[in-house]
Amino acid sequence: MYLQQLIFFIWLFLCFIFSLILCSVISLLSEVPDYNKIIGLTFGTLTENKNLAEQTYGNIDIILSAILIVVVIIIS
C-alpha cells in the first residue's frame, strides 16, 4: 500500500513539473498580447472603475466573513 501511494505521489509531482515547464515554454514562445485585449484580466491591468469597486466592502462584510469562517471551523 505504501509503495502504491509513493508511486502515485511521484506521478503527481512529475505531472506538476511537466505542467510548469509547458506553461513556461508556451509563455516564452508566444508573442506579447495587445494591452487593450488584456485590460481587466489581471490586478495590474484593472481599470479605475474596477479598483473603486474593489474598495466598496465595509465592516459588515468583514464581520460576516469572519463569522462564516468560524462556523465552517466549528462544523469541521
- Note the pLDDT tens digit of each residue in 19-76: 999 999 999 999 988 888 877 677 666 666 655 655 667 788 889 999 999 999 999 8
Confidence bin at 11 (pLDDT 50/70/90): very high
What pLDDT shows up at residue 9? 96
Instruction: Return the domain boundaries, the chain.
Output: 1-30, 34-76
Grid coordinates representing 74 are 466549528
Answer for the pair 40, 47: CB distance below 8 angstroms, yes or no. yes
The residue-averaged pLDDT of 11-24 equals 98
Q: Is the pLDDT of residue 8 over 80?
A: yes
What pLDDT shows up at residue 34? 85
Q: How far apart are CA 65 and CA 76, in angstroms?
A: 17
